[in-house]
Amino acid sequence: MREFLQRTALWLVAITVISCGFWVASSGTDALLALAICLSAWLAFNLYHIALLMRWLRHPVAERVPDGFGVWHTVFMTLYRTMRTQSQSKKKLTHVLERFINAGEAMPDGVVVLDELDRIEWVNPMAVEHLGLDRKRDVGNQILNLIRQPAFHAYMKNASFSQPLMLTFSQPRELVISLQLVPFDSTRKLLLTRDITQLERVQTVHRDFVANVSHELRTPLTVVGGFLETLSDMPEVDDRVFRQFLPMMMEQSRRMQSLVEDLLTLSKLENSPKAVNSERVDMRDMLDTLMVEAEGLSQGRHQVKLLRNCDCGLWGSSQELHSAFGNLVSNAVRYTPEGGCITLAWQDEGEFLRFSVADTGIGIPREHIPRLTERFYRVDRGRSRGSGGTGLGLAIVKHVLARHHARLEIKSEPEKGSTFSVVFPRERRHDAQAA
| Residues in the chain with pLDDT values less than 50 | 434-435
pLDDT tens, residue by residue, 163-210: 888 888 877 678 888 999 988 877 888 899 988 888 887 777 777 777
Give the pLDDT of residue 411. Answer: 93
Based on the domain organization, do 289 and 385 belong to the same domain?
yes
Q: Amino acid identity, residue 107?
A: M
Give the pLDDT of residue 380. Answer: 66
Give the pLDDT of residue 3. Answer: 55
Q: Is residue 376 part of a domain?
A: yes
Q: Where are the beta strands (DSSP E) in 115-254?
A: 120-123, 165-169, 175-183, 189-195
Give the pLDDT of residue 196. Answer: 87
Q: In what order do the strands lie in the sheet with 279-281?
A: 279-281, 313-316, 429-430
Q: Amino acid identity, residue 2?
A: R
Query: Number of folded domains in the chain?
Result: 4
Element (H, E) at 33: helix 28-58
Based on the domain organization, do 84 and 21 belong to the same domain?
yes
Q: Is residue 385 part of a domain?
A: yes
Report CA-CA distances (Å) from 121 to 10, 137, 181.
54, 11, 15
Q: Is residue 139 part of a domain?
A: yes
- Local structure of 361: helix, strand or coil: coil
Based on the domain organization, do 72 and 176 belong to the same domain?
no
Q: Is residue 435 part of a domain?
A: no
Based on the domain organization, do 80 and 16 belong to the same domain?
yes
For residue 265, what are the domain limits?
201-271
Evaluate whether 422 touches 406 at the Cβ level (below 8 Å): yes
Give the pLDDT of residue 19. Answer: 57
Based on the domain organization, do 85 and 145 belong to the same domain?
no
Question: Is the backbone of residue 363 left (phi > 0), alpha (psi -120 to 50) or beta?
Answer: left
Whole-prediction pTM: 0.55
Give the pLDDT of residue 383. Answer: 52
CATH number at residue 123: 3.30.450.20
Q: Is residue 36 part of a domain?
A: yes
Based on the domain organization, do 310 and 287 belong to the same domain?
yes
Based on the domain organization, do 216 and 351 belong to the same domain?
no
- Distance separating alpha carbons of residues 327 and 337, to the nearest angstrom: 18
Q: Is residue 407 part of a domain?
A: yes
315 strand-pairing partners? 280
Based on the domain organization, do 152 and 189 belong to the same domain?
yes
In sequence order, what DSSP letters do the residues of 181-205 get, joined into one string? EEE-SSS-EEEEEEE-HHHHHHHHH
Q: Is residue 404 part of a domain?
A: yes
Q: Is residue 160 part of a domain?
A: yes
pLDDT tens, residue by residue, 112-139: 989 888 899 888 888 888 888 888 888 8
Maximal CA-CA distance, the chain: 156
Based on the domain organization, do 32 and 76 belong to the same domain?
yes
Domain's final residue, options 164, 195, 226? 195
Give the pLDDT of residue 250. Answer: 82
CATH number at residue 206: 1.10.287.130
Domain's final residue, options 240, 271, 302? 271
User: Which of 304, 322, 311 lies closest to 422, judged by CA?
Assistant: 322
Domain's final residue, options 74, 100, 126? 100
Based on the domain organization, do 382 and 365 belong to the same domain?
yes
CATH number at residue 283: 3.30.565.10
313 strand-pairing partners? 430
Query: Residue 164: is the preceding peptide bond cis (ω within 30°)?
Result: no
Based on the domain organization, do 419 and 283 belong to the same domain?
yes
Based on the domain organization, do 283 and 301 belong to the same domain?
yes
